[in-house]
Amino acid sequence: MGVRGWTAMLATGGWVLVSVGGCATLDDYRRVQAQNRFLAAEKEAMGQELADVRAANDALRTRNDGLTQELETKSELVANFRSENEVLDEMRRMALSQLERMAGQQSLGDITIAGAKLPEPLDNALKRFANEHPSEVVYDAQRGTVKWQADLLFALGSDVVRESSMEALRGFAGVIKSPAADAFELIVVGHTDNHPIVKPNTKAMHPTNWHLSAHRAISVGNVLQKFGYAAERVGVMGYGEFRPIADNGDESGASQNRRVEIYLVPRGTLAKANVRTG
């Protein structure tokens, strides 16, 4: 083979080697390109995910700021309400204290209504009357009082005397119209429990327990007048819920506090100006 032939063969072999070497590099390049595209796509996806997380985080931060501000506003309102409630509670305590002082100083003459033992004939007549109506009436001989449970006299929230109590009131009117009671007159005092009046129809007629207790005392006075007792010998008072004799925390105690007490006092007491009830 001549020089020309060897030269041609070497040239051909070199091209083959270069071609083979060039093919291997291209595959690596393509693999690298594919990896780069994959990584770029993954980077883009992660970037989008990061952007979404940041957006969600910003939204949560904004929501948190709003809730924090709302909480601060509500906390301020609660503080204001508590302050107002404290003021109202203090005003209520002062009002109740004043009402109780007024009730304790309520006057109709110069003698205490919870007074002396009644003369024997009148005392005996009232004892007989109480014995005839043991489920309705309690007679306190030491205080000169006759007490009815309001639940027996009235329906809850009402000042209309029950028909079932009329007979007992008629019998009582007979006692106080008798000669034995001629030197006495009456003060009818209504009391309630401490449950507020809430029914609209009841509240329209009796806005407060004070009104209801006074209205009930008036109703008893009217019934006694109907049975022939002179109206000018009857005084009425209402203490509402402010003179409890039992705990209003249960129905038994509340029932005891709903009552009407009738005091027998010396005739002329109602015409005097400064009588204290006790």
Burial of 192 (0-12, 13-18, 19+ CB in 10 A): buried
Q: Give the residue-averaged pLDDT of 246-260.
A: 95
DSSP per-residue codes, 55-114? HHHHHHHHHHHHHHHHHHHHHHHHHHHHHHHHHHHHHHHHHHHHHHHHHHH-BSSSS-SS
Could you report the per-residue pLDDT of 197-249, keeping only the tens digit for each?
Answer: 999 999 999 999 999 999 999 999 999 999 999 999 999 999 999 999 999 99
pLDDT greater than 80 at residue 86: no
The DSSP bridge partners found for residue 235 are 187
Q: Looking at residue 94, what is its pLDDT?
A: 62
Q: Looking at residue 82, what is its pLDDT?
A: 73
Q: Who wins on pLDDT, 199 or 277?
A: 199
Most confident stretch, 17-26, 87-96, 177-186: 177-186
pLDDT greater than 90 at residue 84: no
Provide the mean pLDDT of the chain. 82
DSSP annotation of 33: H
Rounded to 10 deg, the angle between the 166-176 and 120-132 helix axes is 170
Q: Give the residue-averaged pLDDT of 176-183.
A: 96
Q: Looking at residue 96, what is its pLDDT?
A: 54
Angstrom distance (rounded) from CA 39 to CA 209: 84
Listed by start position, the domains of the chain span 1-105, 107-271
Beta strand residue intervals within 212-257, DSSP E: 234-238
Beta carbons within 8 Å of 157's beta carbon, 6+ residues apart: 197, 199, 202, 206, 212
pLDDT greater than 70 at residue 21: no
Weakest mean pLDDT among 32-36, 160-164, 215-219:
32-36
Beta carbons within 8 Å of 153's beta carbon, 6+ residues apart: 161, 162, 165, 216, 220, 260
Could you report the per-residue pLDDT of 100-132, keeping only the tens digit for each?
Answer: 554 444 444 433 454 557 999 999 999 999 999
Domain at 107-271: CATH architecture: 2-Layer Sandwich (3.30)
Q: Contact 173/227 with Cβ under 8 angstroms?
A: yes
pTM of the model: 0.59
